[in-house]
Amino acid sequence: MTAWIDTHCHLDAPEFAPDRDAVRARARAAGVAHCVLPAVDVATFGAVRDLAARHDDSYALGIHPLHVDRADPGDLERLDEALRQSRGDPRLVAVGEIGLDFFGDAPQRERQEQFLAQQLRLAARHGLPVILHVRRSADALLKHLRVAGVGGIAHAFNGSRQQADEFVKLGFRLGFGGTISYERALQVRRLAAELPLSALVVETDAPDIPPQWIYRTAAQRAAGAGQGRNEPGELPRIGAVLAALRGMPEQDLAQAARANAAAALPKLAPLLAERAGAGSSSAGGDNHGQ
């Protein structure tokens, strides 16, 4: 079975409370070998850490730009301390989800930039890459990144080709998920098809950004069809869409995306190698038993 890496999954989200373990089990059965679980605020640090340990995944610690209005400067100190305490944890792979969100009436742009700048400094201090939230803010983020000296992943990328190239020059991989399944998402689909293969990673952002086959319109939701919850188990089908856009076999795309994820988040590599080795040992044992 093709093995996929979901580089952005909020398994700790309240939407998964009724069946969280079953969600992860379904994803594994579908071929999702590993998930990266980014925190969104100090209150979720423990949850992502515990879930990563429980499901043999990895995690990131950070303060999301849409949560800075509820954060205080002491939260940055708490993040610094959490990163220090988890320095020896092989499952801590990044600082994230951090970034900027300038969509609509997103809160406190100046405060967002202050939190971003300080979290980028923390990432550099602790020797970790970052997982970035980039929404209507690519140019502002690039200004910060040019002086930060860190790389990582620009999650759910939706900027221009020129902006994409600038992120790649700074050592970032770009995350593509359910948005590429919508035929009307012309710019994102074009980027997904034309960017260098080495620049891409795949993600779900579950429970958010549902792919086209899950999405429910307002009318459908009003009629009782539910919210269209995204799950990490949808990643292989999203990956198949990306492979089709690029005209390449799914297995080759999955292999490249795994390598790109490990390059963007270097602490992933030994975790993935350990899982691959465990799978080989298990297979060998089964054959021996026959």
Which residues sit in the known binding site for a divalent metal cation? 8, 10, 97, 133, 155, 205
Coil/strand/helix, residue 61: strand
- Partners of 154 in the β-ladder: 132, 174
Give the CA count within 13 Å in the CB-facing half-sphere of 112: 23
Task: Say how far apart CA 15 and CA 207 lie, in whole Å.
Answer: 7
Task: Say how far apart CA 281 and CA 221 lie, in whole Å.
Answer: 46
- Partners of 37 in the β-ladder: 59
What are the distances in angstroms from CA 275 to CA 25, 174, 221? 16, 24, 39
In the annotated binding site, the residues are 8, 10, 97, 133, 155, 205
Angle between helices 235-246 and 250-264 in degrees, nearest 10: 110
